[in-house]
Amino acid sequence: MAAGDAVFLTGSSGFVGSHVLRALLEAGYTVRALVRPGSQSLPPLDGCVPVHGDLRQPAALIPKMNGCRYLVHVAALYSFSPSRRGDIWRTNVAGCKGVLEAAAAAGVERAVVTSSSAAVGPAHDGRPATEVDFADEGKGSPYHYSKCEQERVALAARLPAVLVLPTAPVGPADWKPTPTGKLIVDFMRGQIFASLGGGMNVVAVEDVAAAHVLALQHGTPHERYLVGGENLTFQALWQVLAQTCGRKPPSMRIPYGLALTLGWTGELQFRLLHRGRTSDDAPLVPLEGVRMARHYMFVSDAKARSQLSYSSTSVQAALERSVKWYYDHGYAQ
């Protein structure tokens, strides 16, 4: 890897992608950052050249990639909105296939593709999931199923690809926000009244960004690398957020059957109110979130630590940065 090598980056205006952009620039790469129509513009950054295009028109991306040595494909749609399920497939699966084909045609040497820890599923019999595990596709959400399919597409591509599987990233600039970020915002607003069992691995988004650079430099093509921080029960997560926000954590635990009923009710109401319209909004109790929340989405990222020299920083500090960013930008009002 030579300083100044050109990287074509997708998803640069998104939460994870914006941090990956900065990590690539700090590592000495020049970056052509794909900006799709309608997305927010990028701030001026030395070494970054914004290029306009759409994953749904991959052939038009080939001339924009000419001269790039690498592709880092971060762009994805992560939403619990019932009206975005078709868009999830078109972006996460078809979009990945198209951009990898375009990169191969443009002479790009290798790629890093952002997958998700959702593709390995929850902990198994108390053992954190690893890269040898695969999610049960019949029981996941449309987003999780799309990430499983995306991995198949990436591994079958002509272009050698390294897969990075982040857990639940938190930190500043989750402006949309992602479903994980919405959990934080809902807690800040006092809208988390009860909790299910289960938990998830939480990681600082800056660590996820650094892992993409490490995967580009040291990753083995066709290998999967989980990238995480700390395995936290939801009760432990609420405790950390309570300390950060000055709020009390939820003391009531809701039965899964009741939560599932609320999720289905919200799903049906949403479909009736948003019939024929596309919206990023999701029900107050999203059905997919309910299904996820009863599991322990715990992982081991030992492979990335040993093979990529990956390391993680404090999740509590990352949550504090996230909360501060939301306060500063008016999300908790």
Condensed to tens digits (0 to 9), the pLDDT of residues 150-203 reads: 999 999 999 999 999 999 999 999 998 998 999 899 899 998 887 777 899 999
* Six-digit token string for 233: 């029960």
Residue at 294 is within a domain: yes
pLDDT of amino acid 287: 61
pLDDT of amino acid 83: 64
Residue at 136 is within a domain: yes
Residue at 273 is within a domain: no
What domain range includes position 94?
A: 6-241+289-328
Condensed to tens digits (0 to 9), the pLDDT of residues 303-313 reads: 999 999 999 99
pLDDT of amino acid 195: 76
HSE (CB half, 13 Å, CA atoms) of 226? 28
Residue at 260 is within a domain: no
Average pLDDT, the chain: 89
CATH number at residue 89: 3.40.50.720
Residue at 248 is within a domain: no
Residue at 234 is within a domain: yes
Spans of the chain below 70 pLDDT: 1-3, 80-84, 137-140, 255-264, 266-267, 270-271, 273-293, 333
pLDDT of amino acid 196: 77
Please provide the DSSP assignment of 189-238 as one string: TT---EE-S-EEEEEEHHHHHHHHHHHHHHPPTT-EEEE--EEEEHHHHH
Q: At what angle do helices 15-26 and 205-218 cross, to 10 degrees?
A: 50
pLDDT of amino acid 300: 98
pLDDT of amino acid 138: 60
pLDDT of amino acid 107: 97
Please provide the DSSP assignment of 247-298 as one string: -PPP-EE--HHHHHHHHHHHHHHHHHHTTT---S---SS-HHHHHHHTSEE-
Residue at 255 is within a domain: no
Residue at 124 is within a domain: yes
Residue whose structure tokens are 């809902």: 186
Q: How many structural domains are present in the chain?
A: 1
pLDDT of amino acid 212: 98
pTM value is 0.90
* Six-digit token string for 307: 């093979």
